[in-house]
Amino acid sequence: MGARKRISAEARKEARKSLYFAKLKNVPTSPRKMRLVADMIRGLEVNRALGVLKFSNKEAAVRVEKLLRSAISNWEQKNERKAESGELYVSLVSVDGATTLRRMRPAPQGRGYRIRKRSNHVTLFVDTLNINESQN
């Protein structure tokens, strides 16, 4: 690795130390379905987001709930204290497409229909709610 590349990689790594996140990779759900769940909790306070996910009837909500609990745990680990209610919120949720498994389904007259089994990657960031921001 070149010197410039190494320096920028170390700077990126240092910047990520102040962020609190969790990643979920290769989830066998289509990205479109997962984005519906991610849109439900984006920007919400953490306890409210957990409630929304718990009572959602979407299958992807169970996975995102577990991911959110992991992100909260990561925040608690780095700050060495428990998260109080109203302190944390979901700052960013991104859903990216992952690999697609391509399968064939038998069709009439000797043909085959393509089936695409999509998967995705989810990244969830939590952040502390500043008192100054809530008063504005």
Q: What is the mean pLDDT of residues 114-136?
A: 82
φ and ψ at residue 26, rounded to 5 degrees: 55, 50
Looking at residue 10, its pLDDT comes to: 93
75-109 residue pLDDT tens: 999 888 888 878 899 999 999 999 999 999 999 99
Looking at residue 134, its pLDDT comes to: 52
- The pTM of the full predicted model, rounded to 2 decimals, is 0.85
Q: What is the mean pLDDT of residues 17-39?
A: 94
Q: What CATH number did the domain enclosing 83 receive?
A: 3.90.470.10
Say if 8 falls within a structural domain: no
Annotate 34-95 with DSSP letters as a single string: HHHHHHHHTT-BHHHHHHHHHT---HHHHHHHHHHHHHHHHHHHHHTSPPPTTTEEEEEEEE
Q: What is the mean pLDDT of the chain?
A: 92
Question: Domain limits at 105?
Answer: 20-130
What domain count does the chain have? 1
φ and ψ at residue 90, rounded to 5 degrees: -80, 110
Q: What is the share, in percent, of the chain residues with pLDDT greater than 70?
A: 96
Give yes or no for a contact between 58 and 41, defined as CB atoms under 8 angstroms apart: no
